[in-house]
């Protein structure tokens, strides 16, 4: 997950920085640092990504059109 994907995922789910931070168990500043493109520990990025996935986000890998996100389709 990169900075742009994190921002897009937050926007798609309607989560604020504080909401995402709480769900991931990190500080709001940590989420902001990720969204600025700063290097974070792999485990920290994984926690933030997992929180977004729990909120219904699917991460789309780079496939020639750029990495992205989408909301998981309901059952």
Query: pTM of the prediction?
Result: 0.89
Write out the H or E segment, with its range, that includes residue 13: helix 3-13
> HEC states along the chain?
CCHHHHHHHHHHHCCCHHHHHHHHCCCHHHHHHHHCCCCCCHHHHHHHHHHHHHCCEEEECCCCCCCEEEECCCC
Q: How many CA atoms lie within 13 A of 9 on its CB side?
A: 29
Q: Which domains does the chain have, with CATH numbers?
A: 3-71 (1.10.260.40)
| pLDDT tens-place string over residues 3-50 | 999 999 999 999 999 999 999 999 999 999 999 999 999 999 999 999
């Amino acid at each position: 997950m990169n900075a742009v994907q994190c921002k897009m995922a937050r926007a798609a789910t309607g989560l604020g920085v504080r909401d995402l931070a709480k769900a991931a168990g990190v500080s709001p500043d940590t989420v902001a640092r990720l969204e600025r493109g700063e290097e974070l520990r792999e485990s920290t990025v994984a926690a933030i990504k997992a929180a977004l996935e729990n909120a219904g986000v699917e991460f789309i890998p780079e496939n020639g059109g750029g990495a992205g996100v989408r909301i998981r389709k309901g059952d």
